[in-house]
Structure 1
Amino acid sequence: MAAPILEVDMEHPSPRHIQRAVEVLERGGLVAYPTDTYYGMGCDLGSKKAIERLYQLKGRDKKKPLSFLCPDLSDVARYAHVSNFAYRTMKGLTPGAFTFILEATRLVPDLMMTRQKQVGIRVPDAPLARELARALGRPLVTTSVSNLEGEPLTDARDIKDALGHGLDLILDGGVTLNEPSTVVSLIGDTLEILRQGKGRLED
C-alpha cells in the first residue's frame, strides 16, 4: 500500500502533524518531508532496520554513508567532535543549506560513518524538518528523494508514485524547486568545500 500524503505548513508545522510523523518514525518507519534543499526522506538514527530500509529504497551503496540532521547546533556536539573552529564556522552558517563533515563520536552507528569515522550533519533552514528531529529526540537520517535516474522529485504526488510503496508517510509542503546542500568538510580545522550547492559561504 502506498504511503498516505499529509499536507503540512513547512514554516509553522502543526504539532498534530509533527506527532503523527514522529509516531511513524518511532515505529521504524520512513517519512518523506520538505527541506530547505530538496525533499528529503528519512528515519530515526536509532533504528538500524529503518536505516537499512532507507538504503534499499534509495538504491544506495552502504559504503556511501547517509547524512543526518539535528534540530540545532547544541545537538551536533553529541554526535560529532566539534572544535572551536568548527563551532564558529557552523554557528555562522546554521540553520542553512549546508552538510558539515566532522569526526564522529561513539553515539553514531557504524552504518552512518565513513571508514575514517566521519559523518555528515545538517541543521537545515527548514522549521518542519528540525521540529521532526526535536520531537523525535534523536537526529533524522536523511537523503534526498529522487527517481531511478537520480533526478530529484519536487512534488509529493510524484514522490508517492515513485517511492510510495517503500515510504510510510509523505509530508506535502508544496512543490520545492531547489538545489542540493553545500557539503563542507571541517576536518582538521580546515574548511574545504566538497560540493557547491545552495549554501553560499559568502552569506
Structure 2
Amino acid sequence: MAKYFDVHPENPQPRSITQVADAVRSGALIAYPTDSCYALGCQLGSRDGIDRIRSIRQLDDRHHFTLMCRDFAQLGQFVRVDNDVFRAVKASTPGSYTFILPATREVPRMLQHPKKKTVGVRIPDHVVTQALLAELGEPLLSSTLLLPDEEEPMTQGWEIKDRLDHAVDAVVDSGDCGTEPTTVVDFSSGEAEIVRRGAGDTARFE
C-alpha cells in the first residue's frame, strides 16, 4: 500500500517533505502535484522507477521523460542551451512548459531519446514541488500521471491513492490539480517546434 501524505499546498509541512524526499532517495515511486497536473516521479537514475512508470503508463522507449528542475542553474547542468533558446526558456520559467533539449553527460543514457539524445526539462511553479526539489537537491525524474485509454489525468490525490495504491509507493496530496498537462516545446534543432499544446501559452513560440 502507498504511503499517503496530506501536504498543505501553500505552506508544505517540512517533516512531510523530508519524508517524501527520503522515500525517493530510497527508490520510491511517488505521485505528486505540479503546476499543471499530478505526475509520477522517482530518483534520477532509478531503472526500477523508469520501468514502473513505463508499465503504469504503457510507454514505449521513444517517450521523453522529464527532469523536474528546481531552477535554471540546475536545468543548465542537464541540457545544452544556446543563447537564443536561453532567452525563450528563461522567459517561460517557472511555468507549465516542458522543453526538449540536447542532453549533457549528466543525464543517464536510459533517460535520453534513443536517437536524438535529448531529454525533457521543466521548472515548476508549484510550492510543494519546489519544496520537494529543494529537499532532494537534484532533479526528479517525472512523467504526467495520465493512465492508458484516459483522456485526462486524475485531479485528486485521494483518487490516485485509491486507484494506484499498489502501483506507487507514496502519494503526495495537495488538493485539486488541473487536468491540462504542460505545453511541450522541442528546441533540439535550435528552432521552436510545438509538440503539445497544454497549460502554457504558445504565443511566444509561434
| TM-score normalised to structure 1 length | 0.92
Q: Give 1:136 shift.
A: 1.1
Give the SS at the match of 1:42.
strand
What residue in structure 2 maps to residue 142 of structure 1? 142
RMSD (Å), alpha carbons = 1.6
Q: Give 1:49 shift.
A: 2.3
Separation (CA, whole Å) in 2 of partners of 1:147 and 1:192: 25
Q: Give 1:202 shift.
A: 4.2
For the 8 Å contact 1:62–1:111, the answer to whether it is kept is: no
What residue in structure 2 maps to residue 81 of structure 1? 80
Separation (CA, whole Å) in 2 of partners of 1:126 and 1:167: 22
Q: Give 1:100 shift.
A: 0.3
Amino acid in structure 2 at the alignment position of 1:149: D
Separation (CA, whole Å) in 1 of partners of 2:124 and 2:131: 11
What residue in structure 2 maps to residue 97 of structure 1? 96
Amino acid in structure 2 at the alignment position of 1:140: L
Structure 2: gaps of 5 or more residues: none
What residue in structure 1 maps to residue 10 of structure 2? 11
Q: Which deviates the most, 121-130 or 60-69?
A: 60-69
- In the alignment, does 2:28 pair up with 1:29? yes
Q: Give 1:64 shift.
A: 1.5
Give the SS at the match of 1:62.
coil
Separation (CA, whole Å) in 2 of partners of 1:88 and 1:12: 31
Identical pairs, percent: 36
Measured at CA, do residues 117 and 148 of structure 1 come closer, stay the same or move farther in structure 2, by a change above 3 Å?
closer
Q: Within 5 A, what are the aligned runs for 1:32-181? A: 32-114=31-113, 115-150=115-150, 151-181=152-182
| TM-score normalised to structure 2 length | 0.91
Q: State the number of aligned residues.
A: 202
1:26-50 Cα deviation digits (max 9, x unpaired): 1100111111111011001022222
1:130-187 Cα deviation digits (max 9, x unpaired): 2212211221111122334234111112111221101111111112233110001122
Separation (CA, whole Å) in 1 of partners of 2:56 and 2:203: 36
